[in-house]
A and B are shown apart, each in its own frame.
Chain A
Amino acid sequence: MSVARLLLPLAIAAVAAACSHGSPGLPGRPGANSSGSEHPDDALARELADPQMRVVTDNVTILYNSGGVIMGRSESGALFATDVTTDCRVDFNPAAPALYINGLEVEVSGVSIARTDGDVRWYVISTASPEAGRVIFVTRY
């Protein structure tokens, strides 16, 4: 295991508050994973009903519609989301697959496209990191 992965839980915890600053999420949004009494299937269904571009984990929330969030796709097909206010950045390459949160690689155990609607795709990324948990990456790019 790389040093980066050893440090990842701490890194994710450290940036979590900052990444959520200014992007407080939708009312009632508990995160990509179920929390409290909400059933995991209900949490996912709620995410799939929302077409807003965003990246949501248990600790990191980047909402495009909040403003100040650059979302796009690189020539290689990698997707990115950056909050220009907090500098929080999530990079995701579906083809690899590879996931980076603020430059730190998060081990991906599985990727699925849970829904498509026009140009919008809902990626559900399973990670081996309990801190990152399940990542929802919704993009039209």
Chain B
Amino acid sequence: MRPILASVAAAMCAAVLSDVSAGLSGAALAAVVAADCRPSAGVEPAMPSSWWEDASEVFYIVPTQWWEPAPADAFNVLLAPAALVEARRDYVPGDVSVASAEGEGWAVGVGPIGLAESDMWNVAPDRLGDLARRYMYLALVYPQSLWHGRAVMVMTDGGWPLLTSYGRTLLLGWSRLDPIDAREQTESAALGALQGNYNPFVTIPGLEEYLWGVHAGEPLPDTPADPVVPPAPAAVQLKARYSIAADSIIFFTSPYVPADASWTVDGVAVGESATLESLGTGSHEAAFTSPSAVGSMIFTVEP
């Protein structure tokens, strides 16, 4: 990272980054961005977190078991509920389909990875993007020649492309579902100020799309301030049958259901939408609750 004041690093980084990375793509883009945003000395301040109300224990987003030695980085550590710290172990991020432990804004359980199933964890829908952008930052800045344990489900050994197919699909999906907002920008800037760097996935909206997503292989525009995030998919009303290949996402919205309804699928709480991959193929029951009505519907997910 260039020797600039930490307090202004976050504000300046977009301009700095555009100077060095415009026109690059793929591995070259990743290498330049990583070199530019890597902290010269990481810190581990267990920042009070707005993610959870009852946060009290130090929590590492990328588990310490995944790398040896685990680097110190403010973007990897925050305070979390003790129950989450205990239950998460070294599990991968993912769309939990059957929860074994859960609290306000988090769940640990099992869910699909391709055709298999794995222990995994996730957070509330309005934090999925925050979490995804932290994972992507850590994968980008700290490539490992040999990831340990369950990390190999998400990270690739030896650097580029940094993330496995599962990791790319999951984290890109979460980032699209929960775009950067002012709260995340504020939190990210505060962390960056502590260790004099920034998370490029927060300061350059849509960077991940140029690395792994819909713009993969295309050079990063020299005007990164322009919106590059692909438009959010239009909400499609609930229907009887879905195809993972054709639909990708299910939106829990219907003219027959109150707009303020909260939803579960097969008994597990979901947000306003969910990836069909996370639900898996087969028949599922979506149930809703609102102050004015309760109800449910069966739908089918096909490959």
Pairwise interchain contact A71-B240, C-beta atoms closer than 8 A: no
Pick the contact of B293: A22, A65, A72 (CB < 8 A).
Answer: A72
**Number of residues in B with C-beta < 8 Å to the partner?**
20
Pairwise interchain contact B295-A67, C-beta atoms closer than 8 A: no
Residues of B within 8 A of A64 (CB): 297-298
Pairwise interchain contact B240-A68, C-beta atoms closer than 8 A: yes
Pairwise interchain contact B295-A75, C-beta atoms closer than 8 A: no
Residues of A within 8 A of B295 (CB): 70-73, 80, 141
- Chain B, Cβ-Cβ closest to A140: B296
Interface of chain A residues 84 through 141 with chain B (CB within 8 A): 84-85, 89, 141
Residues of B within 8 A of A8 (CB): none
Closest-CB distance, A54 to chain B (whole angstroms): 12
Residues of A within 8 A of B283 (CB): 67
Closest-CB distance, A71 to chain B (whole angstroms): 6
Interface of chain B residues 249 through 303 with chain A (CB within 8 A): 254, 256-257, 283, 288, 291-300
Interface of chain B residues 74 through 108 with chain A (CB within 8 A): none
Closest-CB distance, A53 to chain B (whole angstroms): 9
Contacts A67-B298, A67-B300, A68-B299; A84 near B293 (Cβ below 8 A): no
- Chain A, Cβ-Cβ closest to B297: A70
Closest-CB distance, B259 to chain A (whole angstroms): 14
- What separation, in Å, do the CA atoms of A66 and B296 have in the docked complex? 13
**Number of residues in A with C-beta < 8 Å to the partner?**
19
Residues of A within 8 A of B299 (CB): 67-68
Flag whether A57 is at the interface (Cβ < 8 A).
no
- What separation, in Å, do the CA atoms of A70 and B290 have in the docked complex? 14
Pairwise interchain contact B298-A69, C-beta atoms closer than 8 A: yes
Pick the contact of B238: A65, A72, A84, A141 (CB < 8 A).
Answer: A84
- Chain B, Cβ-Cβ closest to A78: B293
Pairwise interchain contact A84-B296, C-beta atoms closer than 8 A: no
Pairwise interchain contact B296-A70, C-beta atoms closer than 8 A: yes
Residues of B within 8 A of A65 (CB): 298
24 contacts between A and B (CB under 8 A): A65-B298, A67-B241, A67-B297, A67-B298, A67-B300, A68-B240, A69-B298, A70-B254, A70-B296, A70-B297, A71-B296, A72-B288, A73-B294, A74-B292, A74-B293, A75-B293, A80-B256, A80-B295, A82-B256, A84-B237, A84-B238, A84-B254, A84-B297, A141-B295
